[in-house]
Amino acid sequence: MKRVLLLFFLSLVISIVYAQKSIVGKWKPVEMLVHNKKTNKKERNNAGLLPCVVTEFIAGGKVKSDTKTCAPTIQQWHAKLDAIQRWTQQGNKVTIKYTDNSLPTATFTVSFKGKQMIMDHALATTVYEQQ
């Protein structure tokens, strides 16, 4: 009996430790690494970051962007994206699709470190901070 309880407890602890965290929540980009084709490495390039955007991944697959501190063109662009973006997560893979097929589907490998979420793609890696 003790052995069964010990095995149950160990499996419970392992499943909690290795459970994949969901991307649901509000996230602000803080760092970007872009793939350099010449060196075949990822290099810091924060020029593509939009720190004025806080992205909220909502349960059920919708995305909502808080862009109130951004320039009007960025606000308009994100309003259009929010209307057509849908996300799904299976384990540590996140796929973002566009309902009108105006942009290609993108799949990211997601990991978490403290209050940070790292979304890794072949072209770039973006680090987000939970808000």
pLDDT in tens, 83-113: 999 999 999 999 999 999 999 999 999 999 9
Contacts of 61 (CB under 8 A, 6+ apart): 86, 87, 88
pLDDT at position 36, please?
80
pLDDT at position 9, please?
44
pLDDT at position 47, please?
67
* pLDDT tens digits along 1-56: 444 333 334 343 343 444 469 999 999 999 998 888 777 778 888 767 788 999 99
Q: 2.40.128.270, 3.90.1170.30, 3.90.650.10, 2.40.128.30: which CATH number matches 22-130?
A: 2.40.128.270
d(CA 35, CA 121): 9
pLDDT at position 50, please?
83
Per-domain residue ranges of the chain: 22-130
pTM of the model: 0.78
